[in-house]
Chain A
Amino acid sequence: MTQSISPYWRALVPALVFTGALAAVFAFYGFDVFERSRGLTDWVMIAPLSLIGIFALALSAFQEIRAAKQACSQPQTSPDADAKPQPTAPSHEPYMKPLAFMAGLGVYVATLPWLGFDLGTILFVCASLLLQGERRWWVHLGVGVGASLLLCFLFRSILLVRMPTLFM
């Protein structure tokens, strides 16, 4: 019984954390705008929307918890009684590689002012290729270096976008 409950609640916790964080943002923003307002027109749309958003999120959280409780209380009817029950709330798609990609993107964006779009893009693309299992050196050379430089050339020299670069 403990084994069948925990996947549902384990999946539910991140969803509730996200919902709670959104509600907190709505509350903070709505309150901040209302407090600084000098008249009706400053908050007439924002404050009511914040309240609507918080209410919708609270209701959504309640529905998620109720769905999880219902899923836990239903008897196991599948022929394979040892099969793990699937979580209900969030997607159970893999998330480690996307998280690593996002981290790499964060580093890429943070270092752009110093590395420039040319070197920064080369490093980002090569790192992404490695993350996704690409080990062929000629792919890293062609795609990682070649395509990145081509894109930088296109934006900087053809489209005349004044983006920071290190050596182009």
Chain B
Amino acid sequence: MLDYSALSDALSLLSRDVSAWLVVPPGILIGLLFGAVPGLSISIAMAVFLPATLYMDFLPAILFLTAIFTGGGFGGAVPAILMNIPGTSGAVATTFDGYPMAQSGRHGQALGLGLAGSVIGTIIGYLILLFLVNSVAGWVLKLGPAEMLVVAIWGMTLIAALNTASFTKGVAAGVLGLLVATIGYSDTGQMRGTFGSMYLLDGVPTIPALIGLFAASELFSLVGRDFIIREERLRVIHLSAILDGMRQCARNPWQVIRGGLIGACVGVIPGVGASVANLASYAVAKRASSSPQTFGHGAPEGLIASEAANSSSEGGGMVTLLALGIPGGAGTAILLGAFAMHNVTGGPRFIAENTDVVYALILGNIAQAVLLGVMGIGFVFFAGRIVKVPLSMLTPLVMSVSMMGAYALTGNMVGPITVAGAGVLGWLMRRFGFPVAATVVGLMIGSMAEGELVRTIQISGGELSYFAGRPIAIVLTCLLLASLLPRFLAPLFRKKTTQVASKKIS
């Protein structure tokens, strides 16, 4: 599995090349800043700084860009915890329990939990990459539309798992997201829901819609309030609270490892990255918990699950990039650009001929994760002071940044218009008890789900027997059903236990 001689070469490469380490701290800081600002994304940061890597050697260039990736993976958690606004799509599930913790004055602890979860999750993701990069590549190539369809259906079941309100409202909210994701040109060239506007031909832009549904709607709700935390005595951030949160995370190793494994596995699948990984890990943690009713009200396990998964998905995404030369998402697409700038092509030959460089990249990223832990403590200590800023100032400024960021993403007014429209919709949904998270899940997986469904129908000709020849799809389906069974059997067990208890009493 491991090439020990290449590993030794990698270590000497990293210890010899000082420039590879000089670029990492600024990269992490850039990632933290861009991830922490709603409207700015990690991919924007990587795209902006990509030209700066032109004159660097290959190893420092990639380490710099992956440092931005690593920093951004946690950076998104900061506004998610402090303001209920995910800085990145990978921090959506972090808001579910991080924000309630912040509102009760435990923001320091929440930030510490998220930081430790991110650090350990990143390490887990890259360790998996280190041991499995060669063997996983072959499996990824076997994933076809049928397998991806099962993954998409599994993603849709997250809608049910995340639903804390009425079941019917959760379903309706999820359907809304799925339908909005189908607006624009279909895979067969049909125009849907565009109303003749050429700006909607590519569909509703996902990130601005996410910013609107989460950030803008939350900001609307905050208008008129004084501070994020109502009690003045709780509006402080203590280093001890942050460290306590990190220690608490270390005391829940199984939670972190499970989140890390889920994130890495989800990250390996092309097109499905941190945005789904955090939700999937959260849903699994909630189902597996002995007290699922605490989730959504400040449960540390939920926060750990989300952050561990969104950070470990980075390592998973690097598998397809290094082993196949295929980008799994926007961030890895930019990394591929950096590869091309240095005349490097990812794939099996690259790994075979440059195993020491691949190992150096992986070990360098593991070291980045440790450095994130150190730099992150300082970052959250200062970022946590945002709770002292009056909301009268914070709300319009964050809204303006979101608008500018949305414009930067789309390059035209579609971005800001989407943020505003989605914000109004999200506010109305919250007001009438519809879960916004379900709509966001639908939005993120909708186009993928339809695309894979259409391709599966086209390849199979509508024959169900097609699945008999797809063992991976069958295994994934069985796993999906197994994960859903407890939800349906639990009420039956509860009823039986109640009946037995009543009989004993009588």
Contacts and interface: CB of A to CB of B under 8 A. Distances in A.
Interface of A: 14-15, 18-19, 22, 26, 29-30, 32-33, 36-42, 44-46, 49-50, 52-53, 56-57, 59-60, 63, 89-91, 93-95, 97-98, 100-102, 105-106, 108-109, 112-113, 117, 121, 124-125, 128-129, 131-134, 139, 143, 147-148, 151-152, 155, 159-163
B175 A53 contact: yes
A162 B457 CA distance: 43
B244 interface: no
6 contacts: A41-B188, A52-B175, A59-B168, A129-B392, A132-B391, A143-B393
Interface stretch (B5-13, B93-101, B324-332, B412-420): B412-420
A14 B428 CA distance: 10
Interface of B: 44, 48, 166, 168-169, 171-172, 175-176, 178-179, 182, 186-188, 190, 192-193, 216, 219-221, 223-224, 391-393, 395-397, 399-401, 403-405, 407-408, 411, 413, 416-417, 420, 423-424, 427-428, 430-433, 449-450, 453-454, 457-458, 462
B178 to A, nearest CB: 6
Contact of A42 (B188, B216, B417, B462): B188
Contacts of A161: 404, 407-408
Contacts of A89: 432-433
B417 A151 contact: no
Given A26-B175, A98-B221, A151-B400, A41 B454 contact: yes
B397 to A, nearest CB: 6
Nearest to A159: B48
Nearest to B156: A49
B176 A36 contact: no
A60 B169 contact: yes
Nearest to A142: B393
Given A52-B175, A56-B175, A112-B413, A40 B457 contact: yes
Nearest to B187: A41
A98 to B, nearest CB: 4
Contact of B223 (A38, A57, A63, A101): A101
A98 B176 CA distance: 23
Nearest to B170: A56
Contact of B432 (A19, A97, A117): A19
Given A36-B190, A42-B190, A132-B223, A124 B396 contact: yes
A132 B390 CA distance: 10
B403 A129 contact: no
Contacts of A160: 48
A94 B182 CA distance: 34
A132 B453 contact: no
A112 B430 contact: no
A132 B416 contact: no
A83 B216 CA distance: 35
Given A53-B176, A102-B423, A125 B397 contact: yes
Q: Most chain-A CB neighbours within 10 Å: which of B223, B413, B416, B427?
A: B223
Contacts of B391: 132
Contacts of A148: 397, 400
